Amino acid sequence: MTVKSAEKFFFIFIWLSIIFLFGFLILHGLNNIFGSYIMGVGLSVSAIATSVFLAIYEKKGGKSKNGTA
């Protein structure tokens, strides 16, 4: 897998997880405490996954190859 395809897959995965979380929240009601808890955990996991991915991507020299991150 090339860097570009891995990057594309990662962003598609993040968008799908965000869409899934919003759908889950809407289905269970905006005032549902459990739904809000799941949403918060999901966003935290997404943020951590994004930062970890970017750290690995930069270590592999993603910036130096084509000049854009």
**Domain boundary assignment for the chain:** 32-59
pLDDT at 30: 60
Give yes or no for a contact between 39 and 21, defined as CB atoms under 8 angstroms apart: yes
Q: Band of the pLDDT at 12, cuts 50, 70, 90?
A: confident
Q: Band of the pLDDT at 68, cuts 50, 70, 90?
A: low
Statement: the pTM of the whole predicted model exceeds 0.85: no
Report the Cα–Cα distance between both ends of the chain, in Å, rounded: 18
User: What single DSSP character describes residue 30?
Assistant: T
Q: What is the average pLDDT value for the chain, to the nearest integer?
A: 73
What percentage of the chain exceeds 70 in pLDDT?
65
Amino acid letter at 14?
A: I
Give yes or no for a contact between 69 and 62, defined as CB atoms under 8 angstroms apart: yes
Please list, in sequence order, all residues whose beta carbon lies within 8 angstroms of the beta carbon of residue 40, skipping any fewer than 6 positions away.
none
